[in-house]
Structure 1
Amino acid sequence: MRTALVPRSLLALLCLLMLTATAALSAQRDWQFDSIDGGTLSLDDWAGQPVLVVNTASRCGFTPQYDGLQALYDTYRDRGFAVLAVPSQDFKQELASDEQVKDFCALNFDLDLPMTTITPVLGDGAHPFYRWLADTEGWQPSWNFNKVLIAPDGSVAGTWGSATVPESPEITSRIEALLPRG
């Protein structure tokens, strides 16, 4: 009779571990960002969808990549894909205020993709999402316009540096693999 208790205990422990792992994965996606348009943006809003998160800056040589980010968003958003632009001053190339960033992007790039307020992406003061990336993936932006693709399950599906343009085959092939066939 005692041997029958051991398997049940083991099964109960495995169930508890699976529930804990599922809850931890869900909690990873629940990062809140302040929206440049007011209110908040949450990665949880896009749970079950791929999301490309990009740290951006208005005065960077890579700033023209906003056109490619908007094009990606336009191409795939109807299939459940999102782009989140995260302006950051960590590399000293962002404008002085959220309002200036918003106006700059509207005037020069006609962006309608989701965008956060100016947000730290490096070090102890980094946004919790970026601290999670550093802690769990060993990845952090090395410059502006570094890209991280979050898979529908909340895992990291890919990371790219500034020189990889948004519409490159390296990025689009990963996005397409994560989208429902349509």
Structure 2
Amino acid sequence: MSVYDFKATTMKGQEISLSEFKGKVLLIVNTASKCGFTPQFEGLEKLYTTYKDRGFAVLGFPCNQFAEQDPASNGEIQEFCRLNYGVTFPMFQKGDVRGETAQPLFKYLVKEKGFKGLDMDHPNAQNLLNFIKKNYPDFLKDDSIKWNFTKFLIDRDGNVVERFEPTKTPEAIAPEIEKLL
């Protein structure tokens, strides 16, 4: 099994197979428009424009499961990302990424690469950890996605290579992407 076995619905409502990205290195990210990590859109777009000609793509999946930080419609989310961060990478329709209602793709990603902890060198790491402990303590009991902007790096064969928590910036992931290109 690989990410190519899954389908996703584009912002325009078209269901596509992720096999359309076969042969590319992918960074699959659950996103949110009203999160402290939302400025990562800028770094994700920079990764995309830097490496897309070498066979790389970022795939964004908005989610409203974390403190309702992406309540807008799919169209509004896409417009927000384009206007505020110049996002040109593929974005898919909003859906759940954790729990029973999680999209099958995200259930697979989490199964392949579980939670290994936050990058505590990030300036917001302790605040995020404290917030989750206080408001969502069950989130810390399993390998599920803990917050917005969890990133999964996929090789050209569709295998999940690495998982990066929200506290790992897109810029810090660039060397890992380059190794796979």
Q: Shorter-normalised TM-score: what interval?
A: 0.7 to 0.9
SS in structure 2 of the partner of residue 48 of structure 1: coil
1:161 aligned to 156, 160, 165, which one?
A: 165
1:132 and 2:108 matched: yes
**Amino acid of the structure 2 residue aligned with 1:60:** C
Contact 2:113 2:162 (8 Å CA) reproduced: no
The alpha carbon displacement at 1:108 in A equals 0.8
1:9-42 deviation per Cα after TM superposition (whole angstroms, max 9, x unaligned)? xxxxxxxxxxxxxxx44xx412111111331343
Contact 1:51 1:84 (8 Å CA) reproduced: yes
SS in structure 1 of the partner of residue 84 of structure 2: helix
Map of 2:45 onto structure 1? 70
Larger radius of gyration: 1
Give the Cα separation in 2 of the matches to 1:46 and 1:145.
21
Map of 1:176 onto structure 2? 178
1:121-171 deviation per Cα after TM superposition (whole angstroms, max 9, x unaligned)? 001111111111233433432100010001112211111111111011xx1
Contiguous gaps of at least 5 residues in structure 1: 1-23
1:145 and 2:149 matched: yes
- Higher relative CO (Cα under 8 Å, sequence separation at least 6) belongs to 2
Give the Cα separation in 2 of the matches to 1:62 and 1:136.
24
Give the Cα separation in 1 of the matches to 2:176 and 2:57.
13
1:38 aligned to 13, 20, 45, which one?
A: 13
1:71-99 deviation per Cα after TM superposition (whole angstroms, max 9, x unaligned)? 00000000000000110011111033111
SS in structure 2 of the partner of residue 172 of structure 1: helix
The alpha carbon displacement at 1:100 in A equals 1.4
1:80 and 2:55 matched: yes
Cα RMSD for the two superposed structures? 1.4
Map of 2:80 onto structure 1? 104
1:29 and 2:4 matched: yes
Tell me the number of residue pairs that the alignment of Structure 1 and Structure 2 aligns: 152
**Amino acid of the structure 1 residue aligned with 2:40:** Q
> TM-score, normalized by length of structure 2?
0.79
Map of 2:131 onto structure 1? none
**Amino acid of the structure 1 residue aligned with 2:164:** W
The alpha carbon displacement at 1:111 in A equals 1.1
Give the Cα separation in 2 of the matches to 1:34 and 1:79.
25
SS in structure 1 of the partner of residue 162 of structure 2: strand
> TM-score, normalized by length of structure 1?
0.78
